[in-house]
C-alpha cells in the first residue's frame, strides 16, 4: 500500500469503501485531494478498488467484529497518524418480511453491522479526531423518518443511527467535531435491486410493481445516485459545511411516506 506524497492533505476513512456508495465516496474525496483509506469485507472489491485508485490505501475488515476494527485502526494510524473525517458507510439491508417471520440470526446480523459496527469504528476514531477537529458522517436512511413495514431490523438500525448522530454531536461539538447523518432514499445499484426482488417475492408480485411503489414514495418519483450521496458527504466535511452538526439530512427528493400499499 502507498500513501499520497502530500502529508498535509486531510485524511478520510470510509467503511465499506471499496464498492458501491462507499467507493463513490472514496473517489469523490480523492478527486478533492483528500488522502483516502477504505476498509471492506471483500478482498475482491479491495483489489479492484486499489487497482483503479493506487493513491488510496485499504484494509480488509469486518466492522461488526471488535478485533477487526481494532486491527483496522492500528494499521490506519501507522499509515497516517491523523484522521480528519470518518464516514460510517458500512451497512446491510437486513431481512425482509413480517416481524413474526424474521429469524433472530438475521436480525442480529443487521444490528451488528448497521449499529454495533458504527459504534466500534467511532470509539476508535474519536481520539484521533479530537487532535485537530473534524467530521463524522453516518449513513442512515429515509427509513429513519417513518415506519418501514417488512423491514423491522433495517428501520431499527437507521432510527438508532439518528439518535447516535445527535448524541455524538452533543458530546463532540466542544472538541470541534461535527457529526451528521445522511438519509438517502433508494440508491440506484445492485443493492436496491436485491431489496426489490426480495420484497416482490415476499408479496408475490412482479419486481416492477415494487420499483414503482418505492419511487412513488418520493415527491420527485425517483431513486438517487451514489454521486448524490457522495457529494453531500463532501459538502458536510468542507469549510462550506463547517457549521452543520447534529443533522439528519434527506437526500431523497422528499419522502412522503414509506407506505407498503401497492
Q: 124 near 69, Cβ under 8 Å? A: yes
Among candidate residues 34, 80, 120, 154, the one labeled active-site is 154
- Beta carbons within 8 Å of 122's beta carbon, 6+ residues apart: 86, 88, 136, 164, 168
Tell me which residue has cell 433495517: 154
Residues comprising the chain, all counted: 262
Residue 221: half-sphere exposure toward Cβ, Cα within 13 Å: 2
Q: 90 near 63, Cβ under 8 Å? A: yes
CB atoms within 10 A of CB 67: 10
Whole-angstrom Cα distance, residue 119 to residue 181?
A: 14
Helix (H, G, I), strand (E, B) or coil at 226: helix
Going edge to edge, which strands form the sheet with 177-184?
57-60, 35-40, 11-15, 85-88, 134-139, 177-184, 248-251
**CA angle at 75 for the pair 230 and 113, rounded to the nearest 5°:** 55
Active-site residue flag, 154: yes
**CA angle at 94 for the pair 17 and 44, rounded to the nearest 5°:** 35
Q: What amino acid positions are annotated as catalytic residues?
A: 154
Amino acid at each position: 500500500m502507498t500513501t499520497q506524497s502530500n502529508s498535509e492533505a486531510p485524511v478520510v476513512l470510509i467503511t465499506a469503501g471499496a464498492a458501491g456508495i462507499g467507493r463513490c465516496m472514496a473517489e469523490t474525496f480523492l478527486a478533492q485531494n483528500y488522502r483516502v483509506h477504505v476498509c471492506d469485507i471483500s478482498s475482491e472489491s479491495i483489489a479492484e478498488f486499489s487497482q483503479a485508485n493506487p493513491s488510496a490505501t485499504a484494509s480488509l475488515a469486518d466492522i461488526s467484529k471488535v478485533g477487526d476494527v481494532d486491527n483496522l485502526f492500528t494499521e490506519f494510524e501507522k499509515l497516517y497518524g491523523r484522521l480528519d473525517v470518518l464516514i460510517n458507510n458500512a451497512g446491510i439491508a437486513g431481512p425482509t418480511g413480517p416481524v413474526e417471520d424474521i429469524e433472530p440470526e438475521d436480525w442480529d446480523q443487521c444490528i451488528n453491522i448497521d449499529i454495533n459496527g458504527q459504534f466500534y469504528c467511532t470509539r476508535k476514531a474519536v481520539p484521533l479526531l479530537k487532535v485537530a477537529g473534524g467530521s463524522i458522517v453516518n449513513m442512515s436512511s429515509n427509513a429513519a423518518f417513518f415506519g418501514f413495514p417488512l423491514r423491522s431490523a433495517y428501520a431499527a438500525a437507521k432510527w438508532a443511527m439518528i439518535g447516535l448522530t445527535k448524541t455524538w454531536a452533543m458530546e463532540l461539538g466542544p472538541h470541534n467535531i461535527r457529526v451528521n447523518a445522511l438519509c438517502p432514499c433508494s440508491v440506484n445499484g445492485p443493492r436496491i435491486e436485491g431489496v426489490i426482488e426480495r420484497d416482490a417475492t415476499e408479496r408475490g408480485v412482479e419486481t416492477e410493481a415494487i420499483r414503482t411503489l418505492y419511487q412513488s414514495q418520493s415527491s420527485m418519483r425517483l431513486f438517487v445516485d451514489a454521486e448524490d450521496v457522495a457529494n453531500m458527504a463532501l459538502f458536510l466535511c468542507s469549510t462550506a459545511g463547517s457549521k452543520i452538526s447534529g443533522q439528519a439530512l434527506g437526500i431523497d427528493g422528499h419522502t412522503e411516506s414509506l407506505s407498503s400499499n401497492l
